[in-house]
Amino acid sequence: MATLELAISEDVAAAPARRRRALGSLFWVAIGWIALVFAVAILAPVLPLPSPTEMDMLERRAPFSVEHWLGTDGLGRDELARLIFGARISLIVGLCAPVIGLTIGGALGLLAGYFRGRFEALVVGTMDVLLAFPPLILALAVTAYLGQSILNLTLIIGVLGIPAFMRVARASTLTLARREFVIAADALGATHLRILLRELLPNVMPPLIAFFLLLVAVTIVVEGALSFLGLGVPPPISSWGSMIGEGRESLDVAPRLAFMPAIAMFLTVLSFNLIGDTLRALTDPRQGAL
């Protein structure tokens, strides 16, 4: 399971050869796909699509046709429309949850890396403790007790991402805080707040943004997994994950019902990973002058 920890193994060196030719064709294809997904997701309500919720019991699991470009699902609903509306859900959760981690975790990491000392030890220790817990279980517990809703899902996945962002922000801050421009600002009498906001934050943002994209990918996967088990987005809302879960029942007769949302999810996650990874290689302040 591509969980939150895999994304934070910052000790792992990315393949070095990719840095120079990094913005190659694959990168732009990934950008293109993301742009496409975004576009259809945003425009979904105005696109000339059949309704994604309208059931047609006579046309269940129908193959591709002019009426239903990608066929219909187990309840006769149009696949293409469901894919597009499912994209909306996956993207909403996928984008909003990491924002929580970014803001809170990023701030904590910045402060911890800057002020050091006991505050830092406390923050790092707390994150270590948080990381000891199996994230999926926590997510399940929250959704089970507080109710399945998109808001709850987004909140819990977001909170689970805080330690990861904290680590990235702290690592960058530790490297940058020793650089001359910070020491110079300090010598010129800048207050802590000013140094943090004017000097450090703009330089810590790029690796954080790169990591944000990677975490978007992880979030889409986590939401997908939970929805797949029926424990994520509440029915009748469907995301790619729940579509795959539903498609599982028809594997023997219509495997396409599971595989189409699967491919959509895979391509989207892959694209975010590619873009995030490329940006990370370009913006990591520890990699010297780049």
Residues of this chain that interact with another protein (CB under 8 A) are: 1-3, 5-6, 9, 11-13, 15, 17, 125-126, 128-130, 132-138, 140-141, 144-146, 217, 221, 224-225, 228-229, 241, 244, 247-248, 251-252, 255, 258-259, 262, 265-266, 269-270, 273-274, 277
Residue 96 pairs in a beta bridge with none
Helix runs in the chain, H state only: 25-43, 79-100, 106-115, 117-131, 135-146, 150-160, 162-176, 180-187, 192-194, 201-228, 240-247, 256-283
CB of 283 to another protein, least distance (A): 19
Measure Cα distances from 263 to 21, 204, 233, 271 in Å: 27, 34, 20, 12
Query: Torsion angle of alpha carbons 27, 28, 32, 34, nearest 10°?
Result: 30
Of residues 204 and 218, the one with the C-beta less far from another protein: 218
Q: Considering only CA atoms, give the Rg of the chain.
A: 22
CB of 89 to another protein, least distance (A): 16
Q: Provide CB contacts within 8 A for 196, sequence distance 6+.
A: 110, 111, 114
Which amino acid makes up residue 272? Answer: F
Strands (E), 4-71: none
Of residues 35 and 42, the one with the C-beta less far from another protein: 35
CB of 151 to another protein, least distance (A): 16
CB of 176 to another protein, least distance (A): 24
Confirm if 53 and 236 have CB atoms less than 8 A apart.
yes
Of residues 81 and 231, the one with the C-beta less far from another protein: 231
Of residues 50 and 234, the one with the C-beta less far from another protein: 234
CB of 11 to another protein, least distance (A): 7
Of residues 12 and 188, the one with the C-beta less far from another protein: 12
Confirm if 161 and 215 have CB atoms less than 8 A apart.
yes
CB of 33 to another protein, least distance (A): 12
Token digits for 93? 């959760």
Of residues 169 and 265, the one with the C-beta less far from another protein: 265
